């Protein structure tokens, strides 16, 4: 027996979120994903790349927000997009040369030629620093040049000299790593995974990391210079011991410098000097171009080479990310460090430790009463939700030794019981801290909702 009216109920309409995006040669598909948003992208035909990283045909790539990204094709392609973006658009160019990415490819070709000469004669390859103001696409260019180099079999050593963002590490750090294998286009930081990130389909990288602990290099220039010097020593050692890395050279992603900033320009010049940079690439056109060109007109590297300054147009797809967006990116990197991502789930360990077993230092406020580079600090509730750096040093070492030490990893403080003198912390792996000191910095800021 039928129920009257039941058959008249229409089936709900489900709107498909899958679409095909067709791109002509030298065109780009630009997309924005809000925090929590995601899309799956599949290359159906042709070729496409993200920041120089080739997409495999028919493979599904799941991009998770927050992301401001683009897919570029040199020969034309069809891509399948499943999911909703916050915003997306297709950028078309009448000719290939009109796309600013063409100048990036030409720069790569010049660097590849220099690497070939360096390999034949046993010399150092090009040492390139990417400079520019805020929101000019510096990191994207550095990543693209590294990707192009690895695709041709080169092994460039990439340096992150911008503490505002991390490379294979959390924000607040300076890092360097050899890129000898394919990069990960889906990583939260855009670079890839490290051994603490667990098993991965993309080979992990082994970075050398120093903890600066502040957002801007200008906030504490003397400590910044000291740590950059330590990083430069590590870079020099790697170039000396590996002829393939030596020939491939160095790519430096620098901090943003505003036109007219004397301190910023001085720190940029210090970076060029420490890393023996012989090519400075400036993205975008502003008063900074003339200042940098004038500053390095008579400079020579430690090898006696002149410093060449090149200006490239920035892409009109570069957007100025607001504070909320960049905060979400930093939180995504922290979350990925401890818990992994959609492709690999990690199981960090919660540890409860006594106050007496911890040796914690904090960065000073540099008041009249605090002039040291680190200040000893008792565990307290103010540390809740902060990440602390585990230093590659002993608690018996001097403050200066600890401050200049490399980073072993990070822990997250989830709870502090001052009455019981106990601290609960999240660590990427099990095991005690031993006699390793911890450093409490000022960047990245606390992540309140890491554990929900």
Binding positions for ATP are 28, 135-140
State the virtual CA torsion across 397, 400, 401, 405 in degrees, nearest 10.
130
203 close to 197: Cβ distance less than 8 angstroms: no
Residue 291, strand partner residues: none
N- to C-terminal Cα separation, the chain: 51
415 close to 384: Cβ distance less than 8 angstroms: yes
217 close to 255: Cβ distance less than 8 angstroms: yes
Give the residue ranges of the annotated binding site. Answer: 28, 135-140
Element holding 71 (H helix, E strand): strand 67-73
- List the one residue out of 67, 64, 52 whose CA is nearest residue 141: 52
d(CA 130, CA 288): 13
Instruction: Give the position of tokens 């159906």.
Output: 44
The β-bridge relationship of strands 157-160 and 250-253 is: parallel
Tokens of 411: 């822990």
Instruction: Give the position of tokens 């790593």.
Output: 177
d(CA 86, CA 114): 41
d(CA 435, CA 358): 8
d(CA 296, CA 301): 10
Ordered DSSP codes for 403-437: HTSBEEEEEEEEEEETTTTEEEEEESS-S--TT--
d(CA 390, CA 339): 18
Give SS3 for 29: strand
d(CA 220, CA 228): 12
Identify the burial level of 409 via C-beta atoms within 10 angstroms of its C-beta, where 0-12 means exposed, 13-18 middle and 19 or more buried: buried
d(CA 396, CA 401): 10
Ordered DSSP codes for 299-326: -B-TTS-B-EEEEEPPPTT-----HHHH
Residue 276, strand partner residues: none
d(CA 162, CA 176): 11
């Amino acid at each position: 027996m039928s129920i009257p009216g039941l058959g008249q109920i229409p089936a709900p309409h489900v709107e498909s979120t899958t679409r095909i995006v067709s791109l002509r040669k030298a065109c780009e598909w630009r997309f924005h994903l809000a925090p929590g948003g995601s899309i799956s992208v599949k290359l159906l035909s042709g070729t496409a790349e993200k920041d120089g990283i080739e997409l495999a045909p028919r493979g599904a790539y799941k991009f998770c927000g927050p992301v401001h990204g683009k897919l570029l094709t040199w020969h034309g392609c069809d891509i399948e997009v499943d999911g909703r973006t916050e915003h997306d658009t297709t950028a078309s160019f009448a000719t290939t040369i009109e796309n600013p990415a063409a100048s990036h490819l030409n720069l790569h070709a010049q660097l590849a030629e220099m690497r070939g000469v360096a390999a034949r004669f046993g010399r150092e390859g090009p040492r390139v620093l990417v400079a520019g103001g805020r929101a000019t696409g510096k990191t994207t260019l550095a990543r693209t040049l590294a990707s192009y180099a690895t695709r041709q079999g080169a092994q460039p050593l990439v340096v992150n000299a911008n503490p505002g963002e991390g490379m294979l590490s959390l924000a607040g750090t300076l890092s360097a790593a050899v890129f000898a294998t394919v990069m990960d286009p889906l990583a939260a930081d855009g670079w890839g995974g490290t051994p603490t990130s667990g098993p991965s389909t993309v080979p992990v990288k082994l970075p050398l990391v120093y903890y600066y602990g502040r957002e801007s290099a200008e906030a504490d220039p003397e400590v910044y210079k000291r740590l950059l010097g330590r990083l430069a020593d590590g870079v020099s050692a790697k170039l000396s011991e590996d002829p393939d890395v030596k020939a491939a050279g160095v790519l430096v992603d620098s901090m943003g410098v505003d036109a007219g900033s004397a301190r910023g320009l001085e720190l940029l010049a210090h970076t060029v000097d420490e890393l023996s940079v012989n090519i400075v690439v400036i993205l975008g056109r502003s008063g900074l171009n003339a200042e940098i060109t004038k500053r390095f007109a008579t400079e020579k590297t430690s090898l006696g080479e002149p410093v060449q300054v090149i200006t490239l147009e920035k892409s009109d797809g570069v957007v100025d990310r607001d504070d909320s967006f960049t905060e979400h990116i930093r939180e995504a990197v922290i979350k990925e460090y401890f818990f992994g991502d959609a492709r690999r789930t990690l199981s960090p360990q919660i540890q409860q430790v006594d106050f007496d077993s911890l040796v914690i230092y904090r960065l000073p406020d540099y008041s009249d009463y605090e002039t040291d580079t680190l200040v000893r600090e008792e565990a307290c509730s103010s540390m809740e939700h902060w990440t602390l750096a585990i230093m590659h040093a002993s608690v018996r070492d001097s403050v200066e030794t600890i401050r200049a030490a490399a980073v072993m990893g990070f822990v997250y403080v989830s709870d502090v019981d001052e009455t019981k003198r106990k601290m609960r912390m999240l660590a990427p792996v099990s095991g005690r801290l031993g006699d390793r000191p911890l450093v409490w910095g000022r960047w990245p800021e606390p992540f309140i909702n890491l554990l929900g």
